[in-house]
């Protein structure tokens, strides 16, 4: 769902301040990852420092470094198309835009090209905006759901937080949403740490506190997880969730995905119900942190599991 985009340095140096603010506020900050293709000697970071610092108080625009590309060697759309593995949108300088024939955007293979002042015309950002405000439909394969809404977040995030009162009570079921979610994280994360806020008495039957962590340890050991390094499980009673955490969500670092049905959407190969979905950028991170703090302050138990020497072990109680 996030748009990986880059900016030609000449396009940025000639841009008007209000065009840069529009890019940051309405596109980059809520829906984009800026790919720096000159990470060793970053012209972009130097040029954007003033704007970037200003917006840090309202969230942290996502940035990703990659290997350098030679803009001088890009003479036609086919040259730009070769970089589809690095980014999907390029904001290019006016002269290059004229040569490419932008009107106001153009697809160069799988890469969309646009001038910075025309970023609001980008198909990529418009698609991301629509998806960020689109409910999850019934019957969608969960592999497709993961790929279009969560996969990119998993690839760039180190801290994954799950707030779902029902997440920890159904480990005995043949279909398990939490374990399916773990498998997706295992496939796409380079390394991550998972924190779960759940309830022992939110399901059909209450689950003994001392059994939940043991069951979780057994299940993750069976999955053979290696990319997930640590799992912290905070348990609060159901009435605490009703007071402090009505919304169910997954937070990837500073990005929060509110899911009406919670991680239940991952229980079966296809989603079994329609679900509300809301994508919240890092501007709203304090809302999630307050919820999580309230749950920690009203918890009944905390368990920690860590991967050590290739096996999952329960750590001593904190």
DSSP annotation string for 49-109: HHHHHHHHTT---EEEE-----GGG--SHHHHHTTTTT-SEEEE-HHHHHHHT-SSEEEET
Q: Is residue 182 part of a domain?
A: yes
The pLDDT, as a whole number, for residue 208 is 76
- What's the total number of domains in the chain? 2
65 contacts: CB under 8 Å, gap ≥ 6: 35, 36, 39
In the chain, what's the furthest Cα-to-Cα distance? Answer: 68
CA distance 210 to 213: 7
The DSSP output letter for 266 is G
Tokens 């295992």 -> residue: 186
Confidence band, pLDDT 50/70/90 cuts, at residue 59: low
Quick one: average pLDDT of 133-139? 96
Measured from the Cβ of residue 295, the count of other Cβ atoms closer than 10 Å reads 22
Tell me which of 100, 129, 158 is where a domain ends. 129
Residue 168 pLDDT: 84
Hey, how many other C-beta atoms are within 10 angstroms of the C-beta on 304?
17
Residue 151 lies in a domain: yes
pLDDT above 90 coverage of the chain, percent: 68
Backbone angles phi, psi at 122, to 5 degrees: -65, 130
Per-residue CA distances from 23 to 15, 103, 118, 192, 306 (Å): 11, 19, 10, 30, 41
Q: Are residues 153 and 206 in the same domain?
A: yes
User: Residue 108 pLDDT > 90, yes or no?
Assistant: yes
Query: Is the domain of 80 the same as that of 157?
Result: no
Higher pLDDT, 72 or 206: 72
123 part of a folded domain: yes
| Residues 117 and 178 grouped into a single domain | no
Q: What is the pLDDT, as a whole number, of residue 256?
A: 95
> Residue 221: inside a domain, yes or no?
yes
48 domain residue, yes or no = yes
152 lies in the same domain as 298:
yes
Q: What is the pLDDT of residue 47?
A: 73
Is 257 domain-assigned?
yes
For residues 174 and 77, state if they share a domain: no
- 42/118 same-domain check: yes
Q: Residue 134: inside a domain, yes or no?
A: no
Burial category of 201 from C-beta neighbours within 10 Å (exposed 0-12, middle 13-18, buried 19 and up): middle
Residues 98 and 244 in one domain: no
DSSP β-ladder status, 111-115 and 89-92: parallel
On the question of pLDDT at 57 being above 60, the answer is no
Q: Which of these, 219, 287, 225, lies nearest to 256 by C-alpha position?
A: 287
Picking from 61-75, 132-146, 179-193, 289-303, which range would have the lowest pLDDT averaged per residue?
A: 61-75
Same domain, yes or no, for 121 and 152?
A: no
Give phi and psi for 112, each to the nearest 5: -90, 140
- Phi, psi dihedrals of residue 69, rounded to the nearest 5°: -120, 155
Is residue 167 domain-shared with residue 305, that is, in the same domain? yes
- Domain membership flag for residue 10: yes
The CATH number of the domain holding residue 199 is 3.30.870
Categorize the per-residue pLDDT at 63 as very low, low, confident or very high, splitting at 50, 70 and 90.
confident
Q: Nearest CA to 163 among 196, 194, 185?
A: 196
Of the residues 129, 162, 191, which one is the last residue of a structural domain? 129
Quote the Cα angle for 61-62-64, to 5°: 145
> Between these two residues, 203 and 289, which has the higher pLDDT value?
289
- Residue pair 287/280 in contact (Cβ under 8 Å)? The answer is yes
H-helix or E-strand containing 249? strand 249-252
Domain containing residue 269: 139-314
Using 50, 70 and 90 to split pLDDT, how confident is the model at 113? very high
What is the pLDDT confidence band of residue 307, given thresholds at 50, 70 and 90?
very high
Q: Does 169 lie in the same domain as 239?
A: yes
Q: At 90, is the pLDDT very low, low, confident or very high (cuts 50, 70, 90)?
A: very high
Q: Which of 52-61, 121-130, 146-155 shows the lowest per-residue confidence on average (mean pLDDT)? A: 52-61
Shared-domain flag, residues 7 and 148: no
Percent of the chain scored above 70 by pLDDT? 92
Q: Which of 83, 111, 129 is the last residue of a domain?
A: 129
Taking only the tens place, the pLDDT of each residue in 16-52 is 988 988 998 899 988 999 988 765 556 677 777 767 6
Write out pLDDT tens, residues 252-266: 999 999 999 999 999
Q: Is the dihedral of CA 238, 239, 240, 246 positive or negative?
A: positive
The predicted-structure confidence for 146-205, as pLDDT tens digits, reads as follows: 999 999 999 999 999 999 999 987 776 666 899 999 999 999 999 999 999 999 888 666
Average of per-residue pLDDT across 54-70: 72
* Sign of the alpha-carbon dihedral angle for 45, 50, 55, 57: positive
pLDDT band of 102, cuts 50, 70, 90: very high
- β-strands 192-198, 228-235 pairing: parallel
Phi (first) and psi of residue 211, to 5 degrees: -95, -25
Q: Compute the average pLDDT of residues 56-72.
A: 76
pTM above 0.85, yes or no: yes
pLDDT (0 to 100) of residue 283:
76
* Structure tokens that stand for 252 in this block: 């990837």
Residue 141 is classified by DSSP as: B
Judge if 53 and 144 occupy the same domain: no
């Amino acid at each position: 769902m996030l748009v990986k985009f880059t900016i030609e340095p000449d396009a940025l140096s000639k841009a008007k301040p209000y065009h840069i603010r529009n890019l940051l506020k309405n596109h980059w900050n809520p829906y984009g990852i800026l790919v720096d293709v000159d990470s060793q000697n970053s012209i972009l970071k130097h040029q954007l420092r003033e704007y970037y610092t200003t917006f840090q108080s309202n969230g942290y625009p996502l940035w990703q470094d990659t290997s350098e590309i030679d803009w001088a060697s890009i003479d036609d759309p086919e040259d730009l198309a070769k970089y589809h593995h690095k980014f999907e949108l390029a904001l290019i300088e006016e002269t290059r835009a004229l040569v490419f024939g932008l009107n106001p955007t153009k697809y160069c293979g799988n890469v969309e090209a646009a001038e910075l002042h025309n970023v609001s015309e980008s198909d990529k950002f418009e698609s991301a905006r629509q998806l960020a405000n689109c409910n999850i439909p019934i019957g969608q394969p969960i592999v497709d759901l993961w790929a279009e809404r969560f996969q990119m977040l998993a690839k760039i995030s180190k801290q994954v937080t799950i707030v779902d009162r029902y997440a920890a009570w159904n480990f005995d079921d043949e279909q398990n949403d939490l374990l399916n979610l773990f498998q997706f994280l295992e496939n796409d994360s380079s390394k991550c740490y998972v924190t779960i806020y759940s309830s022992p008495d939110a399901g059909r039957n209450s689950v003994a506190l001392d059994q939940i962590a043991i069951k979780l340890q057994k299940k993750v050991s069976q999955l053979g997880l290696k990319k997930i390094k640590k799992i912290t499980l905070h348990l609060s009673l159901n009435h605490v969730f009703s007071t402090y955490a009505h919304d169910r969500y997954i937070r990837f670092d500073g990005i929060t995905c509110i899911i009406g049905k919670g991680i239940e959407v991952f229980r079966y190969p296809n989603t079994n119900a329609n679900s509300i979905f809301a994508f919240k950028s890092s501007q709203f991170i304090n809302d999630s942190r307050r919820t999580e703090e309230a749950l920690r302050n009203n918890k009944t138990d905390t368990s920690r599991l860590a991967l050590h020497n290739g096996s999952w072990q329960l750590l001593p109680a904190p």
